[in-house]
Chains A and B, each alone.
Chain A
Amino acid sequence: GAGVSQTPSNKVTEKGKYVELRCDPISGHTALYWYRQSLGQGPEFLIYFQGTGAADDSGLPNDRFFAVRPEGSVSTLKIQRTERGDSAVYLCASSRDTLGEQFFGPGTRLTVL
């Protein structure tokens, strides 16, 4: 079956612009996670959803970052007023439930010029 997919695979934007990153989880997976991986680092947790609600958003760095999952499937990570420091690979993962194995997507590479 299909794995986790993320679009776009690459996004280049200018400082101050707004971007949206999309994640399509594995069908039937109720839990969805966002991570950010900066160059040379391990992924860092941002937020996770159980169904439609954000169960833990403690990893979001500031209020420019926001994520939604309105129908409990696809999720969108939104970044306002992008800064050069936001440049990273944004990873999405899904799992059958909150204790199950997390399956990762290929990531979206965001570059802020």
Chain B
Amino acid sequence: AQSVTQLDSHVSVSEGTPVLLRCNYSSSYSPSLFWYVQHPNKGLQLLLKYTSAATLVKGINGFEAEFKKSETSFHLTKPSAHMSDAAEYFCVVRSGGGADGLTFGKGTHLIIQP
């Protein structure tokens, strides 16, 4: 069994300041981990993924995430927020070696203040 907990339902930051979206996971096997973004009225888009290679993963639009096995965490960060980053972000887990569907967290709504 696998699960994902996103620790914040809403995060608000000022434009130009750092972003931190927190995620903890649980998985019986070595997991693959993802972050997806969902803009209003648009489809889900993959930001980045971890699949047992480098623990620091770089994604699109300046986002990155670090896989920490000891903490079972996969937090998403960005050094400087942009207004266009306002969206819903989902942390996602998939059991290692499996061809299962993805297990999504409940999402974190990122608000960017001007």
Contact = CB atoms under 8 A, between A and B. Distances in A.
A7 B104 CA distance: 23
Contacts of A107: 43
A99 interface: yes
Contacts of A50: 99
Contact of A56 (B36, B100, B103): B100
Interface residues of B, number: 19
B25 interface: no
A43 B104 contact: yes
Interface residues of A, number: 28
B44 interface: yes
A41 B106 contact: yes
Contacts of A33: 101-102
Chain A CB within 10 Å — which of B41, B99, B107 has the most? B99
B105 A42 contact: yes
A91 interface: yes
21 contacts: A35-B101, A35-B102, A40-B107, A41-B106, A42-B90, A42-B105, A42-B107, A43-B102, A45-B100, A48-B101, A50-B99, A55-B99, A56-B99, A56-B101, A59-B101, A101-B46, A102-B102, A104-B44, A104-B45, A106-B41, A107-B43
Interface of A: 3-4, 31, 33, 35, 40-48, 50, 55-56, 59, 91, 93, 98-99, 101-102, 104-107
Report the 7 A-B pairs with minimum CB-CB distance, sorted nearest first.
A45-B101, A42-B104, A98-B99, A104-B44, A104-B43, A106-B43, A43-B104
Interface of B: 4, 36, 41-46, 49, 90, 99-107
Given A43-B44, A105-B43, 17 more contacts: A33-B101, A33-B102, A35-B104, A40-B107, A42-B90, A42-B104, A42-B107, A43-B90, A43-B104, A48-B100, A48-B101, A56-B100, A99-B99, A102-B46, A102-B102, A106-B42, A107-B43
